[in-house]
Amino acid sequence: MARTDDDTWDLATSVGSTATMVAAARAAATRRGVINDPFAEPLVRAVGLDFFTRVAEGEADLAEVADDAWFRRMTDVFAARARYYDDFFNSASAAGVRQVVIVASGLDSRAYRLSWPAGTTVYEVDQPEVIKFKTSTLARLGAAPTADLRTVSIDLRQDWPTALQAAGFDASLPTAWNAEGLMIGFLPPDAQDRLLDNITALSVPASRFAGDYGTMTDQSAATQQQMAAQADHWREHGIDIDPVDLSYTGEYHDVPKYLQAKGWDTVGTTLTDLLGAARLPPLQDEDLGVAPASILYVTATRR
């Protein structure tokens, strides 16, 4: 179903199912020893989408969905991305940052699996059903947060800064912000700008930001055809992910340029770099033409 301004979801539907897909990839990568996210598998199992459960349990592979470069490399892509952001948080912690905000947190379990220094508060912001599911599932599993975890159940197209501050966020402290798997068309262009404006307004100097950005669905006939084929493949596997329907269209600002203009110093990274840092096989020529290869990664520090 196409997006509407006030649409909602859980972890088995619409944008929410992409969070389960990414967690299934992390579970598979954990089995292969590439990353260590012990909560990914039980979380995915609890969502109850059969194919993703089998992927998480090592009985199926995301590459079975379709024989194209995107599906073949999906586990590696999300594993490399997870490592990149783990490194970002570890280096922010080492630099003394003790306030963390993960927007679009989905099934991210960093608040439970990273070794946060004492005194760290982690805020997770996502839609209410997503927050409720992850928090209650991990509590049921007996998992305890490794930081002072505060959840903020709100849509990022609404006034999330007020909700974040009501949860205790202190705008006078340096903050490490993360937006993983969000700025790829899941917010309308103006809401994405507002997200970055609000993050900037809430960030004192030495605050840090890390995110990925780009589009999975340019308007070319070839991409539209490729995405329609992807949606069919997912449907055959019982999963309702239609990249075209899930994405907003329109003109997006280049995220690093936008941040630079707002007072951030940025460092860009490509998927090739991420895979190399994670010691995963490089992209082959045929991989470079697929949408995920066009997604870019940026870390930023507030001047």
Ligand X SMILES: C[S@@+](CC[C@H](N)C(=O)[O-])C[C@H]1O[C@@H](n2cnc3c(N)ncnc32)[C@H](O)[C@@H]1O
Q: Which residues bind ligand X (CB under 6 A)?
A: 15-16, 18-19, 22-23, 104-108, 126-127, 130, 155-157, 180-182, 186-187
Beta bridge partners of 302: 264
The answer to whether 92 and 101 are in contact (CB under 8 A) is no
Distance CA(38)–CA(30), nearest Å, equals: 7
Q: Which is nearer to ligand X, 174 or 181 (CB)?
A: 181
Alpha helices, DSSP H, located in 126-281? 128-140, 160-166, 189-201, 221-236, 243-246, 255-261, 271-277
* Residue in the shown chain whose Cβ atom is closest to ligand X: 106
- Nearest distance from C-beta of residue 181 to ligand X, angstroms: 3
Nearer to ligand X, 13 or 260 (CB): 13
Which of 186, 234 has the CB closer to ligand X? 186
134 vs 237, which CB is nearer to ligand X?
A: 134
Nearest distance, CB of residue 259 and ligand X, angstroms: 19
Query: Which lies closer to ligand X via its Cβ, residue 206 or residue 240?
Result: 240
Pairing of strands 208-213, 264-269: unpaired
Beta-strand (E) ranges in the chain? 99-103, 121-126, 148-153, 175-183, 208-213, 264-269, 296-302
Q: Smallest distance from the beta carbon of 238 to ligand X, in angstroms?
A: 19
Smallest gap from residue 172 Cβ to ligand X (A): 25
Taking the complex as a whole, the smallest distance from the CB of residue 221 to ligand X amounts, in Å, to 26
* Cα 143 to Cα 47: distance, rounded to the nearest angstrom: 17
Task: Give 37 or 287: the residue with its C-beta nearer to ligand X.
Answer: 37
Give the shortest CB-295-to-ligand X separation in angstroms. 11
Nearest to 8 by CA among 213, 153, 134: 153
Task: Report the distance separating Cα 155 and Cα 15, nearest Å.
Answer: 12
Closer Cβ to ligand X, 15 or 79, answer by number: 15
Minimum CB separation of residue 16 from ligand X in Å reads 5
Query: How far from 285 is each of 11, 236, 282, 290, CA to CA, in Å?
Result: 34, 28, 10, 10
